[in-house]
Structure 1
């Protein structure tokens, strides 16, 4: 078979939809044509023959498997790298085609809906449900007033593709989609075909892997791309959806609150990343500000063209005319604009606003203090006030719909959503850094030596006394340790950020929060920068201090610790100073690495349930911040389902969640995908806020006892695996984790501190999950479930009925079973056996394999399916199709690891390192997941 015929054969055999199959065939045909034109026919043959051998190997044909491995081991390194690049490009383009297929399906469904049958998980469905459940217009409006949704963009290194590669892939798949348009003339089709071929030629000629590690500045630029490319245009469309839904259900449209605000960690998260300096964070804010101002200038220019309202034809309110007189004094217009817009007050007003923004843009290039000083000339609040004035004036001029719908209102929504900062920057730092800085300050101020040796009670007593003392600890004439100076400079920077724009800074997050003192230490450092003050009775605080609970132990202790924090003599005043508000962050990655899949999920669920109780008992307004990764092993999965699975007591309309790595690329590369993602989030958050979330566990019904037993047993199995004396050497040897650590995909080091090489304790959760995913064990997404459930069910078979009932009626249980089910489907025994065979240590592989078989069998019984993912046919079919093309990539990677072991020269190692990077990229593309 040709490569194109191979794609058609396996896509058809896997029941891939015809529209997607046709596009994949067209894509492969174009790639084949390119290879033929370049005279590299062997690559075409290999791309077709290797998947055929893989399919034979899957049919328990060991001879075919050996032949496939022999064929690959006989290839020269240059042939391997060419094959890797071609297959990786193919998978990336297929992934993009799948996104377009999702959009096509959603559009088809949208065409067939009506008021009685809105699209599932949409805003229309949400309001339809409220109306059917007896919600009045006022009640529905009131519920939307409670919503506070804050997606948080992070630079976590799980996106292996370069920006230039992403752009070219999107161009190719978009143009392939256009070729289906029946309205195109033959010449137009041929023109598109030539464009596609050019893009393919450029894509294949572009380095897949970066030659240099990303800088923080690169990450900031990449993050801003998604704001300017999709988020900016998507957000107003959501408000359109809400308005249309209100109008359909209630016949009227409210003045909607701003329910979305974005945050970012890119350029400001310094936990374990020494490259995020004080100056880098300042420059990040300026880039945010410049980007926002430029976007507004473009918007104002378009709006000025649009609002061609003449005061000769409509009445113009005095308030607008009065504001124009003030503008004429402060930012006079040139004669050109005065004459051109003499009778067009709205255009004059918009031109004055543009001039003000241009002045702010010019000032950004000045020194830091000058930028801060000029900010008060025209603030985001002033900008919004001007837009509100235009909005009111348009309504008074009889142009109500122009004010409330369309281009002008989009601008107004963006201004209220993004301000001049685009996304507020959070700062995150490890608690140990604060502790050491406070010790240094206390020492040089002659208050106390040996602070870190004190007990927790002694620390709290000392910190309380110092917080109530108005004098600073930092002496003017004494040099502090370099690290202390660094952390103090960060707090001083926060003060500068707040002076520049009060909305530019979000929260100060304390990773690895273990005790009350971890938060009081931050207050001490904030006090040194003038951000925290005690007047003898009351605290005046300019920052939200956010504890981050990450380990299983910390999650278990978090409700009791929050009780202590909220009743602490000083910290309770911190909460009062922040309007009775407290944010808490929960870590999904480290908890999984610490306790395994089931324990991490249950520990997080219990923590949220109990934290909700503590916070409500103390009448504290709160927001939970979910530090979810992209993969199931790091809290990934569908965001809306995860929200619906949260305990009802922790749902108050306020929520934050991280958007990381390749998940940002998937959710925000295309406007239609971004819009669907965000509408599903609104649907889920509004529903749980209305009381449709998880009910609290009933005392004494046995649920918690059973779940605790499952969690304890699964964690025991997991810890027995990873605590085995031979485990770490085995893991490092059979996976490419050490090569993953050297991938130039992020500015942040792969492990936290230390120069003693790669160690389990310091390895971050991302490369940990990344390594398991590459070799298709996917341990962080399911392991331990079989070992936990089997003995319990043998002891009492009736528990199976309980588990089946939970799966059908308990969203939390359903979600974690389905997420594990997906990871089981992506686990591939032939593949992981290939890697394990490289090692002489077969025991660990057998432990994982045994639990895999148990877990798979039990999930089938719990879900009442014949095969894994029978209830998710689209995903099941996609995995089936991908397997035959992914397995050769894994065989290549295992072969490269063997070659690496036997390499004799530095030049060989250099070439092999590059090839291994390409293989990691390829498998990540095939699996649609990294870490």
Structure 2
């Protein structure tokens, strides 16, 4: 029987099931307000008809109450709106679970981009040996971050998993019970999670998803590409930021970092213990049973006592290989695959499970470093000359690169200095207990100069790594200006004899992180992506010049506006001018649960990442952009940047975000441990804005500005001058530009300007709203003209259908949110002393944030 189109599979296995289970869900008696489940569809219909008629959210809400609930008091009406929000949040969870359950059916697990497809394609081209050679050095690292773009508590994640399984087996009774459980399980967090809480919730994915999916992928590669032989390279690994990322998060302490590392080790030992016990039930033969029992006892003791000296990962593997040899010689290779699989997992995860990255802002380091120097000079230390601060930056760098000595932490009083220096000590401790891979990278965000890197270099050596620095320093370049300066900074580092010697000891590899999120916030969509592309080319060139392999680590978020989008296509499109021995990227928030939340989706998306990196290397036709295409791409980026920069400088830009969007409510949501902005200023300062609340606020308005603003104006120049064919030529021949345009289409697809059309009549913000809407209309028209599509995302009907369902589910939620925002504005003008009433509507806004955040999870 032929495979049905993806859209048909989506409709049959996701959409129709959602309609059935949602109808059951709507009839469950959850609350004291009668008929909530009956009234919500009526409210949904009122919203749809109202927006189609050009009504504003306030009129829609008032129309609904007048028509269906005329006798309700105002208090009872507000109460019903809160109930609607609770229902809608749970509808989003239900849709998530159904989509997760259908993932392997909707997505072809052996199709294009999977390892099976890659293997067959390589085999047909007789390139298996070339593929093996690549796989011996190629790596994919996904780095889980604590960035708060999803708020599901652990209990809800558990329900999603159980629902997923019940839906797969069509167990209607269990589904009914789980929907009832979902209705009664609280979603809202009354206090912010601690960084440790965030780490624990992400370790759930390591333990329950990645342990198995990474193992499956590695086993497949070993069996089917390497014919069962040992692979030295780990190919796939995990980075971890919760507990290590202290950039702008005062709540991450050295104690947190150590606690998270201990939890990671304990969790991987727990998983090994489970597997060893399973093996023990199978390997009941002479000479083998006692060896397995001995391993079981050692892992058990290490779990309970955190005693790391009973066994090292290499000893663990060695013992398993001894067992394997006996099985092959004496017992007809019985259960050999199970033993191989466990050996592979120990190879991948060691005793650390995930590599804990430390991250801090260069400005915070600078303050700490200068305070440290002053304190050392005051105490008579001769590590730094007394005139250190008066020296030129070049002379300071020279001193730092030749630094020697040890410092005593007891002499420091400043809390920030102690936290930074004790964190460095913690890295050393973690390496000693969990292995070097457990914590061996320090990221400097907002890195601007060579001095930023060398300050950290010196601190690491003085505090804990005196002669042998087993930590990689990764500068993170974020703004458009920093990306321009990045190659010069790296050249200064590569030509510094002491830093070059450090790199040589580290295998002549240099990690450089590039920030798509802040880049987009700073420079707009096209310029951020093009700026990073060009920076990567120049950084590749300068690194190759000094025989250094540069490893690009991409700070990509979930939605396209934060650098996410069609990630696999992005990596497959880079071409030969960009170093590609490793693919490293951050995964965060709803992107973790949507792309890696189940073993199927995790395996599929990891395989896509591996394949995209390898296709980029093996594709001899991918010769990069022609000179003419580069000129067009550059010109589009520059024009787009100018349009976006002018927009950002508009006097209404910050007031609009502050007063017409949900920006200030992000801080009240309790979804993350980090403050929602960097600075301490009470006024809104653009540079203090974090990318997540910035992009999220536009998303809640359904305007998605960072994903398209400036694109339309840049394209219009080519239409006006009769050169549109040049852009078409770029689109048809550059998969990089094509991916950018497709991502921008996704942002446009998720925009819904009818929601905020009422703002066009606002005396203060009306013209500004019209400016945004005009750019949206222009971008949409010209992107359709460029692609030849009749509608947005025409090339991806199943993805579009998923977005449409989610947007439909949250439509009433957004209507309530806009209604509440308008009420707050009116009360602040007419009755500012009515704090209780304002607080009620503010709660409506805050509560309505969540469902919409979670509903946008299919954005990467």
After TM superposition, the score normalised by the length of structure 2 is: 0.92
Partner of 2:111: 119
Tell me if structure 1 keeps the 8 A contact 2:91–2:809: no
- Measured in 2, the distance between the counterparts of 1:277 and 1:40 equals 45
Structure 1 residue 427 and structure 2 residue 403: aligned? no
Partner of 1:346: 288
Tell me if structure 1 keeps the 8 A contact 2:362–2:444: yes
1:434-492 CA-to-partner distances (Å, cap 9, x unmatched) read 222221232233345686675xxx233134225425334x4677445332222111111
Partner of 1:97: 98
Partner of 1:134: 126
Partner of 2:245: 269
- Measured in 2, the distance between the counterparts of 1:470 and 1:239 equals 43
Q: How far apart are residue 637 of structure 1 and its match?
A: 1.3
Q: How far apart are residue 757 of structure 1 and its match?
A: 4.5
- Measured in 2, the distance between the counterparts of 1:230 and 1:478 equals 46
- Measured in 2, the distance between the counterparts of 1:520 and 1:217 equals 30
Provide closer, same or farther for how the CA distance between residues 445 and 18 of structure 1 changes in structure 2, counting only shifts above 3 A: closer
- Measured in 2, the distance between the counterparts of 1:734 and 1:64 equals 14
Q: How far apart are residue 266 of structure 1 and its match?
A: 1.0
Tell me if structure 1 keeps the 8 A contact 2:633–2:730: no
- Measured in 2, the distance between the counterparts of 1:563 and 1:885 equals 52
- Measured in 2, the distance between the counterparts of 1:930 and 1:623 equals 26
Tell me if structure 1 keeps the 8 A contact 2:661–2:697: yes
Match of 1:738 among 664, 688, 710: 664
Match of 1:219 among 177, 183, 198: 198
Match of 1:21 among 15, 19, 38: 15
Provide closer, same or farther for how the CA distance between residues 657 and 603 of structure 1 changes in structure 2, counting only shifts above 3 A: same
The root-mean-square deviation of aligned C-alpha atoms, in Å, is 2.6
Q: How far apart are residue 350 of structure 1 and its match?
A: 1.4
What SS does the aligned partner of 1:262 have? strand
Q: How far apart are residue 419 of structure 1 and its match?
A: 0.8
Provide closer, same or farther for how the CA distance between residues 148 and 292 of structure 1 changes in structure 2, counting only shifts above 3 A: same
Partner of 2:798: 874
Provide closer, same or farther for how the CA distance between residues 469 and 139 of structure 1 changes in structure 2, counting only shifts above 3 A: closer
Structure 1 residue 786 and structure 2 residue 712: aligned? yes
Matches within 5 A, 1:319-358: 344-358=286-300
Partner of 1:239: 218
Provide closer, same or farther for how the CA distance between residues 412 and 837 of structure 1 changes in structure 2, counting only shifts above 3 A: farther
Tell me if structure 2 keeps the 8 A contact 1:154–1:265: yes
Match of 2:45 among 52, 63, 82: 52
- Measured in 2, the distance between the counterparts of 1:623 and 1:632 equals 22
Tell me if structure 2 keeps the 8 A contact 1:15–1:877: no
Q: How far apart are residue 262 of structure 1 and its match?
A: 1.2
Partner of 1:384: 317
Provide closer, same or farther for how the CA distance between residues 38 and 262 of structure 1 changes in structure 2, counting only shifts above 3 A: closer
- Measured in 1, the distance between the counterparts of 2:489 and 2:448 equals 8
Provide closer, same or farther for how the CA distance between residues 899 and 450 of structure 1 changes in structure 2, counting only shifts above 3 A: farther
Provide closer, same or farther for how the CA distance between residues 697 and 617 of structure 1 changes in structure 2, counting only shifts above 3 A: farther
Tell me if structure 2 keeps the 8 A contact 1:924–1:930: no
- Measured in 2, the distance between the counterparts of 1:469 and 1:580 equals 21
Partner of 1:360: 302
1:18-59 CA-to-partner distances (Å, cap 9, x unmatched) read 333331222122123214x86755323332222323332454
Partner of 1:517: 451
Provide closer, same or farther for how the CA distance between residues 301 and 398 of structure 1 changes in structure 2, counting only shifts above 3 A: closer
Structure 1 residue 607 and structure 2 residue 586: aligned? no
Provide closer, same or farther for how the CA distance between residues 873 and 452 of structure 1 changes in structure 2, counting only shifts above 3 A: farther
Partner of 1:255: 230
Name the stretch that deviates more: 434-443 or 663-672: 434-443
- Measured in 2, the distance between the counterparts of 1:837 and 1:237 equals 57
Structure 1 residue 662 and structure 2 residue 590: aligned? yes
Tell me if structure 2 keeps the 8 A contact 1:886–1:923: yes
Provide closer, same or farther for how the CA distance between residues 204 and 914 of structure 1 changes in structure 2, counting only shifts above 3 A: farther
Name the stretch that deviates more: 843-852 or 73-82: 73-82
- Measured in 2, the distance between the counterparts of 1:345 and 1:563 equals 58
1:735-768 CA-to-partner distances (Å, cap 9, x unmatched) read 1111112211111111113142443221100110
Provide closer, same or farther for how the CA distance between residues 411 and 789 of structure 1 changes in structure 2, counting only shifts above 3 A: same
Tell me if structure 1 keeps the 8 A contact 2:142–2:239: yes
Structure 1 residue 863 and structure 2 residue 856: aligned? no
What SS does the aligned partner of 2:244 have? coil
Structure 1 residue 150 and structure 2 residue 151: aligned? no
Q: How far apart are residue 904 of structure 1 and its match?
A: 4.5
- Measured in 1, the distance between the counterparts of 2:592 and 2:352 equals 20
Aligned residues: 833
Structure 1 residue 230 and structure 2 residue 209: aligned? yes
- Measured in 1, the distance between the counterparts of 2:167 and 2:302 equals 43
Name the stretch that deviates more: 643-652 or 758-767: 643-652
- Measured in 1, the distance between the counterparts of 2:717 and 2:167 equals 53
Partner of 2:695: 769
What SS does the aligned partner of 1:623 have? strand
Partner of 2:71: none
Partner of 2:739: 815
Query: Gaps (5+ residues) in structure 2?
Result: 1-6, 67-73, 378-383
Name the stretch that deviates more: 775-784 or 889-898: 889-898
Q: How far apart are residue 807 of structure 1 and its match?
A: 2.1
Matches within 5 A, 1:900-915: 900-901=824-825, 902=827, 904-915=833-844
Provide closer, same or farther for how the CA distance between residues 896 and 64 of structure 1 changes in structure 2, counting only shifts above 3 A: closer
Tell me if structure 2 keeps the 8 A contact 1:14–1:881: no
Matches within 5 A, 1:385-400: 385-397=318-330, 399-400=332-333
Tell me if structure 2 keeps the 8 A contact 1:141–1:254: no
Q: How far apart are residue 202 of structure 1 and its match?
A: 2.1
What SS does the aligned partner of 1:152 have? strand
- Measured in 2, the distance between the counterparts of 1:618 and 1:592 equals 30
What SS does the aligned partner of 1:570 have? helix
Tell me if structure 1 keeps the 8 A contact 2:477–2:514: yes
Partner of 1:341: none
What SS does the aligned partner of 2:553 have? strand
Matches within 5 A, 1:480-519: 480-500=413-433, 501-519=435-453
Provide closer, same or farther for how the CA distance between residues 152 and 880 of structure 1 changes in structure 2, counting only shifts above 3 A: closer
What SS does the aligned partner of 1:870 have? coil
Tell me if structure 1 keeps the 8 A contact 2:57–2:816: no
- Measured in 2, the distance between the counterparts of 1:827 and 1:848 equals 11
- Measured in 2, the distance between the counterparts of 1:345 and 1:14 equals 55
Partner of 1:295: 271
- Measured in 2, the distance between the counterparts of 1:63 and 1:635 equals 32
Q: How far apart are residue 16 of structure 1 and its match?
A: 6.5
What SS does the aligned partner of 1:34 have? coil
- Measured in 2, the distance between the counterparts of 1:480 and 1:451 equals 21
Partner of 1:550: 478
* Higher gyration radius (CA): 1
Tell me if structure 2 keeps the 8 A contact 1:159–1:661: yes
Q: How far apart are residue 910 of structure 1 and its match?
A: 4.6
Tell me if structure 1 keeps the 8 A contact 2:447–2:475: yes
Tell me if structure 1 keeps the 8 A contact 2:637–2:714: yes
Provide closer, same or farther for how the CA distance between residues 38 and 920 of structure 1 changes in structure 2, counting only shifts above 3 A: closer
Tell me if structure 2 keeps the 8 A contact 1:544–1:582: yes
Tell me if structure 2 keeps the 8 A contact 1:834–1:894: no
Q: How far apart are residue 710 of structure 1 and its match?
A: 1.2
Match of 2:570 among 619, 629, 642: 642
What SS does the aligned partner of 1:268 have? coil
Query: Gaps (5+ residues) in structure 1?
Result: 1-12, 111-117, 180-191, 310-343, 365-373, 534-539
Structure 1 residue 710 and structure 2 residue 636: aligned? yes
1:67-115 CA-to-partner distances (Å, cap 9, x unmatched) read 4554369662211100111122112211321232332223xx56xxxxx
What SS does the aligned partner of 1:624 have? strand
Matches within 5 A, 1:579-598: 579-598=507-526
Partner of 1:921: 850
What SS does the aligned partner of 2:512 have? strand
- Measured in 1, the distance between the counterparts of 2:22 and 2:517 equals 38
Q: How far apart are residue 702 of structure 1 and its match?
A: 2.3
- Measured in 1, the distance between the counterparts of 2:670 and 2:275 equals 36
Tell me if structure 1 keeps the 8 A contact 2:632–2:726: no
